[in-house]
Structure 1
Amino acid sequence: GASPPAAPSPSDLGRALAGMLARRRSTGDDALEDLSALLEATECDRLFGKTGDPHPQMPEMLGEVATALEKYAAPPKENGAGEHGSFEVAEKAAEVGLLFLKLLRKVEAAKNSPVCPEWRTGLRHLAGPVYVFAVTHSLEQPWTSPRSRDVAGQVLALLLQVTDCKSAAGFLRGEDEEEKGRFTVILGLLKPSLNKESWKNNPAVKHIFSWTLQQVTRPWLNQHLERILPPSLLISDDYQTENKILGVRCLHHIVLNVPVADLLQFNRAHVLYHALFNHLYTPEHQLIEAVLLCLLDLFPVLEKAQRWKGDGVLQLMLTHMEPEHRLLLRRTYARNLPAFVGRLGILSVRHWKRLERVIVGYLEVYDGPEEEARLKILETLKLLMQHTWPRVACRLVVLLKALLKLMCDVARDRSLTPEPVKNALLQEATGCLIVLDHCCRGQVKGLLARILLSCEDRKVVSCLREVCQGSEATRSLPPVAPGLCQRREWESCRCHRTEGET
């Protein structure tokens, strides 16, 4: 017959939340249980206020509690906890995630209630910490578990639903031009943990920053350039390869999504170039891959500032490629070499001697079943001959020997290389011979006619006959006699060629 207990008043609720906030570090589990019970017993109008009865301190208090919960579930400092510690963090995150789900459901109920006008204010204070928690624990990391990732994913989905956002990108930048996104708020929350002294205290902050940055594209990103560029440079300048790669990918995203004028302002593009160029001296193939891809997209920006840097990068690449014996690095360099030759165009004539040595050397070395390096080197050779065809005739003997040796080696290969890969190598080599013949005014056909009389390999004979009969590909090549515009471009290039190149 006793009357049910009355729901706590807003002032009592505020004191209770403040007490739990103070007890969080000493008795975290008990505080989580008490907070869960308190949220279940509290109606949404007690949390967000009734019409005509505002309680302005409650939204701020909820934001402080959300921030405390996010920090309580944060992973420890790098190398500060072993496997057992990571398991504890994942368990804490799952419990905190369930609390955030209850809190967001209260916001959703208040949103649909006509007597809770302060739900927008409360959501504004909650959204940032809840987002940081959800991203921290929804990515696959050492401090997460399948259960914690599932709960964090639910938290992020419910947060987007409550904020009427279709995606995380819409949540950060705003769903339309009139709506202001929350990217600035998130960067403000991350800023204290993204300086030189503190960014390694929380191993999750770099991943939160990187993932969040990737969601915001042009035209929204350039207005945040002053906030995102320093942390990206800081992460890329670390001694750990993992952090370097993460930072370079952040810089690449900035290069792709910030207007050229903003990158050129205050010499930012020049700073980016030097930060990336220094990474080319490291022997980590994944880092080299990320850096080369970023530099390829940065070169058009530098061209507009009349600071062409492609020559220096290609020269350093060739310096490293020539003696390199590690297969992963050889494949990485070879994979990106065609793009650099294509970007330089006729200017690649400055590097013909070194390119010739690299091409011949790489064509001689077996590259495993996929033959990625040799295929890319053949692509590079074809592009190089097309762009610098007046310089090809003097290299006819060297290139012809290298291509014929490759074709014979592939035809006699009895290794595990699949037949489609062998056929691709033979076709690419055939295409190079056709281009070489076009650049040398038919001299290749005359030399191959005598070889056909003594060659006994059926595959090689078929390829050589294709070269002798010509190909449709020759129609797209420049004429042997250059026109007026091509003459001027070629003469301009000759004036700037590297000393000693022939």
Structure 2
Amino acid sequence: MKLDSAEEESRGVPSPLAEGSPSTLELAFSKILHGLSRPESGQGNARTAVLQDLGALIEAAECDELCEGTRSGDSLRGMPEILGQVAKALEKLAAPPKEKAEGGDGHSEVAGKATEVGLLFLKLLGKVEAAKSSPACPAWKTGLRHLAGPAYVFATTHRLKQPWTSPRSQRVADEVLSLLLRVTECSSVAGFLCGENEDDRGRFAVVLGLLKPHLNNLQQVTQPWLSQHLEKILPPSLLISDDYQTENKILGVQCLHHIVINVPAADLLQYNRAQVLYHALFNHLYMPEHHLIQAVLLCLLDLFPVLEKGLHWKGDAVRATTHCHDVLQLILTHMEPEHRLLLRRTYARNLPAFVRKLGILTVRHLKRLEPVIIGYLEVYDGPEEETRLKILETLKLVMQYAWPRIPCRVVVLLKALLKLICDVARDTSLTTEATKCTLLQEATDCLILLDHCSQGQVKVLLSKIVLSCEDRTVVNCIRRVQQSSAAVPCDDS
């Protein structure tokens, strides 16, 4: 039945407005939504009053009014959108507290609120189910689309035994989930999330959007508490990192990284979790998204020590760096042909960390590193020159760790460094003088280290160049190399 004027007046609902304004039902639900948004709405009598008003409003409204609503003039808010906001407010109202309440655990209060909210979700979904069977209301899918996500999050939060649930709240939440699956014509939760067929994309993206704030909160939990909940947080983090949207992938990878640095290695190695993490992260390295690549590489660098501990425990006598080798090999394969500046910077930014990690074992990658270093030193990278500076840092580390293999590459590396010095000396771009000085300093240091690795070959070659060079900046760099001492430490490990 329709809301009559007496009911409207008794509930404080505004009387019908002139044509061209939002409907009376929209205004009534907007008033309820405002009441649910107030901080005091979650407490005692105030909460009960608001929820009772909402229940009466749902019961009195017709199915077609709830699903279709009205859109008048420039208003973009119809009833389905308002119902979606009300559903989100209800789910938030019933959510467990983030912190333990003073003077008690607060769990009984959460269970009571969840029971009240669950009954309202049952009424809303019941209206949609009635609209679904009525030929007079073809817009029931619109209403369901806005209700499904919050209803699912509510049901999964309260249907299982938890510290904040009671037998009654669990039963009501289970009824909400059953009715939701029935109305959406899904045979299982997996079908609800992923879709029952190729034409149905499921509702995972909607649910994920609602859960994002909770995933961000996960990163506030550190040792030792995080390991106690590893079985609950690891699967959803892996699932979200595999989402089709890059933003969600990054969020999932950040959650995985937080898990890696805050859960003991023994727990990560148990049940082969660390290997699962590694393979999930490794697959992301094929994505051409620089923000995602950055998040993945940082996570992998912290995961390598965990994987190595697992190999040591197995009694492996070989130095355990297999995973790091595989990742660096793939990175270098992608770096050489890469032309996008943002990706080049991301790869170069993390390259020194991989060389430090491998140490002398970097010699296995010298054939791939050499063309990458030379190619990246040739390309201008903008005013801050981050890529070139990181490549110079990488070259210094390579010469320190793998110095016995450097003499045969002296000529190639000397040409690349001299070309870089000449380019910087003649640079008229927006690069600041401070950045140019840093580049020249780092390139000169590389020449000095190259000279020591080659037992003075660089000084001999430069002595011929300095006689014919007219650029004062280049000559100053060469003089510094010639005046350098012969004792720069190299890594003998």
Into which bin does the TM-score normalised by the smaller protein fall? 0.5 to 0.7
User: Pick from 99, 102, 122: which aligns with 2:109?
Assistant: 122
What are the ranges of 5 or more consecutive residues in structure 1 without an aligned counterpart? Answer: 1-15, 17-25, 49-57, 69-82, 102-109, 131-179, 183-187, 487-502
Alpha-carbon distance, 1:442 to partner = 2.0
Match of 2:273, as an amino acid? Answer: R
Alpha-carbon distance, 1:458 to partner = 1.5
In structure 2, the CA distance between the partners of 1:28 and 1:390, relative to structure 1 (3 Å rule), is same
Match of 1:30, as an amino acid? Answer: A
The answer as to whether partners of 1:448 and 1:464 remain within 8 angstroms in 2 is yes
Alpha-carbon distance, 1:207 to partner = 1.2
Name the structure 2 match of 1:266: 271
User: C-alpha deviations, 1:75-117, integer Å up to 9, x for none?
Assistant: xxxxxxxx9469996999699989x99xxxxxxxx989xxxx9
Is 1:450 the equivalent of 2:464?
A: yes
Alpha-carbon distance, 1:122 to partner = 2.6
Is 1:435 the equivalent of 2:449?
A: yes
Matches within 5 A, 1:36-115: 84=76
Alpha-carbon distance, 1:401 to partner = 0.8
Matches within 5 A, 1:81-230: 84=76, 121-122=108-109, 196-197=193-194, 198-230=203-235
In structure 2, the CA distance between the partners of 1:129 and 1:266, relative to structure 1 (3 Å rule), is farther
Aligned length: 361
Secondary structure, in 3 states, of the residue corresponding to 2:381?
coil
The answer as to whether partners of 1:206 and 1:235 remain within 8 angstroms in 2 is no
Q: Distance in 2 between matches of 1:35 and 1:368?
A: 51
User: C-alpha deviations, 1:420-473, integer Å up to 9, x for none?
Assistant: 11111111101111111121122222222222222221111211211122269x
TM-score, normalising length from structure 2? 0.63
User: Pick from 387, 405, 420: which aligns with 1:406?
Assistant: 420
User: C-alpha deviations, 1:208-241, integer Å up to 9, x for none?
Assistant: 2321211111111001110111111111112221
Is 1:464 the equivalent of 2:492?
A: no
Alpha-carbon distance, 1:206 to partner = 3.6
Q: Distance in 2 between matches of 1:129 and 1:347?
A: 63
- Amino-acid identity (%): 59
Name the structure 2 match of 1:253: 258
In structure 2, the CA distance between the partners of 1:32 and 1:118, relative to structure 1 (3 Å rule), is farther
User: C-alpha deviations, 1:305-353, integer Å up to 9, x for none?
Assistant: 1263011111111111111111111111111111111111111100101
TM-score, normalising length from structure 1? 0.62
Matches within 5 A, 1:328-477: 328-470=342-484, 475-477=488-490
Is 1:303 the equivalent of 2:290?
A: no
Alpha-carbon distance, 1:242 to partner = 1.5
Name the structure 2 match of 1:30: 28
User: C-alpha deviations, 1:43-62, integer Å up to 9, x for none?
Assistant: x88689xxxxxxxxx8xx99
Alpha-carbon distance, 1:202 to partner = 3.2
Secondary structure, in 3 states, of the residue corresponding to 1:359?
helix
In structure 2, the CA distance between the partners of 1:418 and 1:447, relative to structure 1 (3 Å rule), is same
What are the ranges of 5 or more consecutive residues in structure 2 without an aligned counterpart? Answer: 1-10, 12-23, 59-74, 94-100, 118-161, 165-169, 181-188, 195-202, 312-319
Match of 1:260, as an amino acid? Answer: A
Q: Distance in 2 between matches of 1:430 and 1:270?
A: 42
The answer as to whether partners of 1:213 and 1:250 remain within 8 angstroms in 2 is yes
Alpha-carbon distance, 1:199 to partner = 3.0
Match of 1:410, as an amino acid? Answer: V
In structure 2, the CA distance between the partners of 1:128 and 1:430, relative to structure 1 (3 Å rule), is farther
Match of 2:490, as an amino acid? Answer: L
Name the structure 2 match of 1:241: 246
Secondary structure, in 3 states, of the residue corresponding to 1:431?
helix
The answer as to whether partners of 2:294 and 2:346 remain within 8 angstroms in 1 is yes
Q: Distance in 2 between matches of 1:466 and 1:86?
A: 74
Is 1:287 the equivalent of 2:274?
A: no
Q: Distance in 2 between matches of 1:427 and 1:181?
A: 61
Is 1:319 the equivalent of 2:306?
A: no
The answer as to whether partners of 1:199 and 1:206 remain within 8 angstroms in 2 is no
Match of 1:349, as an amino acid? Answer: V
Name the structure 1 match of 2:136: none
The answer as to whether partners of 1:321 and 1:333 remain within 8 angstroms in 2 is yes
In structure 2, the CA distance between the partners of 1:45 and 1:288, relative to structure 1 (3 Å rule), is closer
